[in-house]
Chain A
Amino acid sequence: MEHLSNSINTKQLIACQQCDALYDKPELKQGQSVKCVRCGSTMMERKVDSIERSYNWSLAGIILLVPAILLPIMGVTLAGQYHHASLLDCILVLIERGYFMIAVLVFLFAIAVPVVRLFGSFYITYAFKFNKLKPSLLDFFRAFHHLDNWAMLNVFMLGIVVSMYKLLDDTELSINMGLLAFILWLISSTMAAAALDQDYIWEKLEDEFVNKYSEK
C-alpha cells in the first residue's frame, strides 16, 4: 500500500461520500454534476443560480410559514357541530392530552426543523448575495447540516391526505386556507433546500477564510 507524500493537494481531489473512492477534481460548469464510477452516487453538483434561487424560495417560505402553521388546515362537521384544527393545534391538543413526547417530536419534525432550515438557508444565501461573509458562517453552515435528515413536511402532507380519507367516510369534511398555505410552504422549503449548492458555499467560504488563516 503506497502512501502518498504530504505534498498531496487535497483541493485537487474529491472523494465519494458513499464509497470513499478518490478522484481528481473536475472543473464543473453550472448545471453539471459528477457521479462516482464505482457506486453511482452524485459526488458534486454545480447548481444553476443557486444563491439567487435558494434566496428567493427561502424568502417565500418564511413569508408562508406563519399562515401555514396558524391557519386551520381542515375542519369537520358532524351533527351540527363544527371543529377545525391548524398545524399548531395538533401540537397543543397532544400536550393537553398528555402526549408530551409525541407533541415535542411532531413539533420538531413538522415545525421547528423546517423553520430553522428555512431561516438558515435564508441567512446563508443573504450573506452570499449581499457579500456579507463572516468566519462564523463556517460554524453556522456546519450546524445547518445536522438538520438534513429531520425535516418531515412531505410526510406530514401525506398524513393530511390520509386523514382526509379517514374523515370523509362518516363526517362532512371542509378544507380550509391553511391547507393551501401548507402546500405552498412545503413547495418553497423543498425548493429552497434543493436549490442550495452546498459544495459552492463550502468552497467559497474556504477560499475566503480558511486559506487566509493558513497563509498568515
Chain B
Amino acid sequence: MSLLINTAKNNNLALCPKCHKLNLLNVECHDKKIRCVRCHGLFYQRKSHSLQYTLAWNIAALIAFVPANLYPIMIIYSLGIGDPSTILSGIGQFVDQGLYPIAVIIFTASIIVPLLKIIGLFVLVYRAYTGVRLRPDKHSKFYHVLEFLGPWSMLDVFVVALLVAVVELGFVTSVAAGPAINYFTLTVIFTMIAANSFDPRLLWDKESNDLQGNKEKNDN
C-alpha cells in the first residue's frame, strides 16, 4: 500500500521543466501553454501530447533501423578492392579476431540499446495509456535507464567517422562510410527525441488518480 502523495498537479501547480520553478495555475488553463514566472520559458503542465509524439518518433526510429542494418555501414578498400560490412558483419569480424569485449560493446551500443529503447518506449507508452499492469516505480526507473543509454548508440557513427578520417592511405587502404550510417544516425536521433517527448510523470498520474478516486469513494 503506497502512501497518498500530494502532487503538484492536484494543487494546481506546474513545474517549469527548464528552471524547476513551481508556477501557480489559473484553474481554466490546464492544457494551455504556461509562461514561467522565473525564466519566462513556455511550457505545459505535462508535456503536450507526450504519448502521441513518443509513439510517432518511435515508429520513425523503427523504420530507420531497418535500412541501418541492411546497408553496409562501412566499406574498407584494400588495394582498390572494396569490402563492405554491415553493423552485424562488423561485429562478426571482431568475434573472429577474438576481440570479445569490443564485440560486446559494439553489439550493445548498436543493436541492443536501440532495440531496447524502441521496444521499451512502445511498452511504456502502452502502459501509460491503458494503465494495464502499470508499476510506476519500476517503469520510471526503466525510463531513466533508457534515457541514459540513448546517446551511447552514437558510438558506431563516431567510430566510422574516425576510421574514415584516420585510414586514408590512398590506394593501399582507405575506409569509406556506407549509406547505413545516415539511417543509423537517424535511428539514434529519433529514439532520443522519442525519449525526450515522453513524460515520466504520466506513469504516476494514473496512480494518483486511482488513489484519489478510492479516497473519494471511501469518503462517500
Contacts and interface: CB of A to CB of B under 8 A. Distances in A.
Nearest to A74: B166
A165 B99 contact: yes
Contact of A202 (B24, B38, B169, B205): B38
A37 B24 CA distance: 23
A190 B147 CA distance: 18
Contacts of B158: 106, 110, 152, 155-156, 158-160
A162 B105 CA distance: 9
Interface in B22-81: 22-24, 27, 37-41
Contact of B39 (A6, A15, A91, A138): A138
B84 interface: no
Nearest to A7: B24
B167 interface: yes
A212 interface: no
Contacts of B144: 18, 41
Interface string B111-154: 00000000000000000000000001100110010000011101
A156 B164 CA distance: 14
Interface residues of B, number: 74
| Most-contacted residue by chain B among A14, A15, A81, A93 (CB, 10 A) | A15
A10 B203 CA distance: 24
A138 B40 contact: yes
Nearest to B168: A83
A30 interface: no
A37 B22 CA distance: 19
A78 to B, nearest CB: 6
A99 B143 CA distance: 33
Interface in A181-198: 198
A25 B169 CA distance: 62
A3 B11 contact: yes
B204 A39 contact: yes
Given A78-B169, A149-B151, A160-B162, A21 B177 contact: no
A206 B37 CA distance: 9
A149 B154 contact: no
Given A138-B38, A169-B97, 6 more contacts: A37-B3, A38-B5, A142-B18, A149-B150, A159-B154, A162-B106
* Pairs of residues from A and B, 5 with the lowest C-beta to C-beta distance, nearest first: A159-B158, A85-B165, A15-B8, A10-B22, A90-B165
